[in-house]
Chains A and B, each alone.
Chain A
Amino acid sequence: MVKITIDGRSLSVPERTTILDAARIAGIRIPTLCYMKDLNEIGACRVCVVEVEGYDRLMTACNNTVADGMVIRTNSKKALSARRTNVQLILSEHNTACTTCVRSGNCSLQKIASELNILDNPYPLRLPKQKGSSTFPLIRDYQKCIKCMRCVQVCDKIQNTHIWDVINTGAQTSVDVTGVYSLEDSGCALCGQCITHCPVGALHERDDTLKVLEAVSDPEIVTVVQIAPSIRTAWGEAFGMSPDEATVGRLAAALRMIGVDYVFDSDFSADLTIMEEANEFLERLKDGDSKQFPMFTSCCPGWVRFCKAHYPQFVDRISTSKSPQQMFGAMIKSYFAERINVDPSKICSISIMPCLAKKAECDYPTMKDAAGNADVDLVLTTREAERLIRMAHIVPQDLPDEEMDSPLGIGSGAGNIFGASGGVMEAALRTAYYAVTGENPDPDHFREVRGMGGWKQAVFDLNGTQLRVAVVNGLGNASALLDALDCGRVNYDFVEVMACPGGCVGGGGQPIHDGVEMAGERAPVLYRQDRNMTLRFSHDNPAIRECYREYLGKPLSERAEELLHTDQHGWKMPGEG
């Protein structure tokens, strides 16, 4: 322990505590901007500077540690003035058109400028002239970037994808795509983690809300929305609602107020995915071709993009089952269109997803199986859904909890946990167990794969067959696992991969809380809901049974193959052979 004094308060803290943490222990808040614990402790913005007695120059609190007897002043005039100057300098290279910024009200720069009472800026504004794509799902606004380097760090350290890097030096220093010249040409998985870790509006999703408004206002068009499992853990955050208040039913009510004709829960298509994927897995087990193992889950399009661009040798092992979004899209424009007797070309199929990769996925040429046009027309992230509700001036707290439409309106607890890392694996195992043994296991039997661990593994007995499974989340963990598989250090039968840390609950399209990783708080919501549901097995879902009985036949039937499966080689990532 070392004794220190911060702003006149004396305290003892463990050695190697940063000044920032020591101040926090002392109940003193030092503002930060570029800092992100364990991820970005590089002292780039110089906002957290403090005065340390004995030194003329100021020190950053975020990455410097205390020493015994250190006397620190966090709020001296010297520190405050320097802090203000640095923020003004950052502002001199930042497009401060806050009124039209997607992060207005949730921007760390705006907040710090306001906290520091910066009411004017003596420095002339100098904005970069570069422009990126405005049509790709991930958009970079060069005029907003404050070079905090967090996107570089999250892409390197967490996702091991290395899309972003610092380019040029001196005044020309910028952050940009590395190796190629545009995001479209890169191996970007579209996980969107750079967005959720960006303190400002430099990175954001392509906004498709106006297209949704256009569709709902067109009397010719029938709009159908599906809501992904993880949305219910997060969409209320911006409205100050707990997950208990911000239910999927309330979101359905809001969407209907906006003019959406039908609202469904992707829990249903998650169940459908399980029916197909679990059976596909059992078929592969029967084949016993070792080259097919491990089988990888396919529901995460970020993972599929990553695998195709960075580990193409594993693409054949990815399940051919479409993601729940695309399965639902295909069912909406076939089975459901028939049921409501509407020409599928008059349906606008919209999904609300925690994800940017889904925006790319619905556009692939291989995702037009039901009616010749895209099975899913528009994808909104959780954040866009929130903006849509705000735009319509809806107060979601005042809305009733509404039912989903039917058929296709029922989802099981197994489908519900798709939104958390391990959920797909657990749901698949519940059904695989049933398929092999003819009886349901304890629904919590496979709970070992739950949790925030980045690389989880377990062995389960499936009627005498030892099943080695692994669950990874975050692409850094995925590539560690793939490397280990590549050199034979590990062997598995079935692997679930989610591109985002914690799974979809930590998705790149989810609400942003700067400096806080939310996945760990959101995931338990899904498991709690699963536990409280009576329907906890995908194969027991009456809507699923009905749809197989009436339309699909059985899993892996010809029709199921056509609508619910895909050729993972049917489109190419940049650089994919």
Chain B
Amino acid sequence: MSRLSIDTQNRAQRTVEELYKDLERRITASQPGLCPVDLAASFLHICHSQSCGKCTPCRVGLGRLEDLIQMVLNGTADERTVDLIEETAQSVYMTADCAIGSEAARMVLKGVKGFRDDYLEHIRHGRCMGLQNQPVPCVFQCPAHVDVPGYISLIHEGRCADAVRLIRKDNPFPSVCGLICEHPCEVRCRRTLVDDPINIRGLKRYACEHDAGGPPLVTAPPTGKRVAVIGGGPSGLSAAFYLSLMGHDVTVFEQRKKLGGMLRYGIPAYRLPRETLDREIGYLRQTGFAVETETSVGKDVMIQSLRERFDAIYVGIGAHNDRKLGIEGEDCEGVISAVEMLRMIGDDVMPDFYGLDVVVVGGGNVAMDVARSAVRLGAKSVTVAYRRRKQDMTALPEEVEGAMADGCEILEMMAPVRIEKDEDGRAAALIVQPQLAGPVEGGRPKPVPADAPEVRIPCDRLLVAVGQGIDSRKFGEYGIPIVRGKIKALDWSGVSGEEGIFAGGDCVTGPATVIRAIAAGKVAAANIDNYLGFNHEIETDVQIPRIRFDDHDPLGRINMKERPASERRHDFKLMECGMTEEEAMQESGRCLHCDHFGYGIFKGGRVAKW
């Protein structure tokens, strides 16, 4: 017998490895609305299978816990059972020899605390707290509830114009979203069970790029009701679009020179070309709403006067104020807020960074936007300083990777301490304190100062991208409730105590995604319509094609390609390449059609109108 041998996996082990991957994907694509107690029992069963069996708490305890939870599920438990589960799990947690046992027990404890009411409901009434709710994942996950399987099947038939019309039923910004949506629709895509989620955003972009145009928009007969929309961003324009379709007389008040809000003044053109944005807004304006630009509500026109002139008001002012670092030297020349810089670019005023060393502070998408813009503006070097780990950045991973490919350097675990000025009072360097990844809080380790000396990062320009605030002061003074700077609106976008005033988008949620702002505008439009005494329904006559059959054979996901970094870093032209027809046909053919196969055909499926 050899003294040592090389470990090789046998067939069973290899298969189990594959099954682990299958299970990982399955968990990723978990449906909303499942029974938490049933899931707890299943998770526990997996944990128990992982036990080596050496120690009592893990070998026996996890099994008994499983029995107890099963008793809850099959109606043979009483209320003391929950206490017994908790005590047992506590004991397993404290006495298990290794993490296989202790962490399994911790999951059970989390559940007993986190959904105790569900345990009790099962014991008392044999059912879950919530109703069975397994809607079409992509439609449910999309805040605007766009009919994703519907338009994907239209794309697959080559009916791109119809696909765009179908999208516009729920989301008036298909081209914008095709380029920059964070695509929450893909997160729980059921195709993930087979291989990878459908590239929904990419398909949407394809549809828009191949949209030959549909029939002209038809608005409902005029209602004689007037609605003021404050803020010409995605939320305000969505509300204005749908309200105009419903026949209301809408005026949009925008404080900047042009419409678009953060789409224009926050997102760089290499991600969203201005022509695309202008074309999209131009389409929406066909519904005939009026626009007053360079009109700041609260300054150029008073809220009270809008109250008198309009039957309803929608506030969608976004979150355009910059947040400060609050460190020494922040007020010196050369320190620019990201919001301010992107706003200048939005109005085609390009800052000159030629040959300069630029440092960006922050780890969100806006930080990446200004870093990558700085590269395109000729900076000699761009360094992103972030106080946590790269993987903890709130920016989308592809944005971080893209920035790095563009030539940005990421300095992780560096917390800004102060800004050093040169003799002219201009920013000369950012002094940072190296950090250590500390205890995990809210899923991310908290940075704690490391036992290491400060680091000096020389810079000519310091770009601060540490979040945005809401300019809600004027609205607060008028009497609209404001909580921590945010306008307080209800889930139907009404503002309590102020009948006829509605609010939504970033100014209510804090800085969030475009699609959430759009959804808020849609919700507001529906409820404003009802408030005005109408019930106009938004629908489309697009007929969904016949459902395709599928054997669920794994097939590669088509990812979006980008122009090479060496080329794109010199201009503000669109960076991402669209799908080819061949790619779009394959990708749309991967859709599993959860609107037809599964629960969607019974409940939670297609909503033909709203």
Q: Are A56 and B551 in touch, CB under 8 angstroms?
A: yes
Task: Provide the residues of chain B in CB contact with A55, threshold 8 Å.
Answer: 549-551
Choose from A65, A167, A171 the contact partner of B127 (Cβ within 8 Å). A167
Chain A to chain B: the 9 pairs with minimum beta-carbon distance, closest first: A166-B132, A42-B602, A167-B127, A169-B35, A56-B551, A169-B34, A170-B38, A42-B601, A65-B546
Q: How far is the CB of B172 from chain A (nearest CB, A)?
A: 29
CB-based nearest B residue for A487 = B535
Task: Provide the residues of chain A in CB contact with B596, threshold 8 Å.
Answer: 63
The A interface is mostly helix, strand or loop, or mixed, namely loop
Any A CB within 8 A of the CB of B131:
yes
Q: When chains A and B are docked, how far (Å) is the Cα of A2 from the Cα of B131? A: 41
Q: When chains A and B are docked, how far (Å) is the Cα of A57 from the Cα of B549? A: 9
Any B CB within 8 A of the CB of A207:
no
Q: Are A171 and B38 in touch, CB under 8 angstroms?
A: yes
Residues of B within 8 A of A (CB): 33-35, 38, 73-76, 125-128, 131-132, 134, 546-547, 549-552, 596, 601-603
Any B CB within 8 A of the CB of A346:
no
Q: How far is the CB of A159 from chain B (nearest CB, A)?
A: 16
Q: Are B551 and A168 in touch, CB under 8 angstroms?
A: no
Choose from A57, A63, A171, A181 the contact partner of B551 (Cβ within 8 Å). A57
Q: Are A168 and B546 in touch, CB under 8 angstroms?
A: no
Task: Provide the residues of chain A in CB contact with B76, threshold 8 Å.
Answer: 129
Residues of A within 8 A of B (CB): 15-16, 41-44, 52, 54-57, 59, 63-65, 67, 129-130, 149, 165-174, 176, 178, 181
Task: Provide the residues of chain B in CB contact with A174, threshold 8 Å.
Answer: 127
Q: Are A172 and B35 in touch, CB under 8 angstroms?
A: yes
The count of A-to-B residue pairs whose CB atoms sit within 8 angstroms is 65
Choose from B74, B125, B128, B550 the contact partner of A169 (Cβ within 8 Å). B128
Q: When chains A and B are docked, how far (Å) is the Cα of A170 from the Cα of B126? A: 14
Choose from A15, A64, A149 the contact partner of B602 (Cβ within 8 Å). A149
Q: When chains A and B are docked, how far (Å) is the Cα of A72 from the Cα of B116? A: 50
CB-based nearest A residue for B36 = A169
The B interface is mostly helix, strand or loop, or mixed, namely loop
Q: When chains A and B are docked, how far (Å) is the Cα of A172 from the Cα of B546? A: 33
Q: How far is the CB of A548 from chain B (nearest CB, A)?
A: 49
Q: Are A169 and B38 in touch, CB under 8 angstroms?
A: yes
Task: Provide the residues of chain B in CB contact with A56, threshold 8 Å.
Answer: 551
Choose from B73, B132, B552, B601 the contact partner of A41 (Cβ within 8 Å). B601
Task: Provide the residues of chain A in CB contact with B38, threshold 8 Å.
Answer: 168-172
Q: How far is the CB of B35 from chain A (nearest CB, A)?
A: 5
Q: Are A130 and B33 in touch, CB under 8 angstroms?
A: no
Choose from A15, A52, A67, A129 the contact partner of B74 (Cβ within 8 Å). A129
Name which of B125, B126, B134, B603 has the most chain A CB atoms within 10 A of its CB: B126
Q: When chains A and B are docked, how far (Å) is the Cα of A331 from the Cα of B127? A: 47
Q: How far is the CB of B81 from chain A (nearest CB, A)?
A: 16
A and B contact pairs by CB, cutoff 8 A, 6 listed:
A57-B550, A130-B75, A165-B131, A166-B603, A169-B34, A169-B38
Q: Are A167 and B132 in touch, CB under 8 angstroms?
A: yes
Q: Are B549 and A167 in touch, CB under 8 angstroms?
A: no
Task: Provide the residues of chain A in CB contact with B33, threshold 8 Å.
Answer: 169
Task: Provide the residues of chain B in CB contact with A64, threshold 8 Å.
Answer: 547, 549
CB-based nearest A residue for B124 = A181
Task: Provide the residues of chain B in CB contact with A129, threshold 8 Å.
Answer: 74-76
Q: Are A65 and B547 in touch, CB under 8 angstroms?
A: yes
CB-based nearest B residue for A66 = B546
Task: Provide the residues of chain B in CB contact with A42, threshold 8 Å.
Answer: 601-602
Q: Are B131 and A57 in touch, CB under 8 angstroms?
A: no
Q: When chains A and B are docked, how far (Å) is the Cα of A221 from the Cα of B546? A: 65
Name which of B128, B546, B550 has the most chain A CB atoms within 10 A of its CB: B546
CB-based nearest B residue for A166 = B132
Q: Are B127 and A43 in touch, CB under 8 angstroms?
A: no
Task: Provide the residues of chain A in CB contact with B127, threshold 8 Å.
Answer: 167-168, 174, 176
Task: Provide the residues of chain B in CB contact with A52, threshold 8 Å.
Answer: 549
Q: When chains A and B are docked, how far (Å) is the Cα of A181 from the Cα of B596? A: 31
Choose from B73, B75, B131, B549 the contact partner of A59 (Cβ within 8 Å). B549
Q: Are A165 and B132 in touch, CB under 8 angstroms?
A: yes
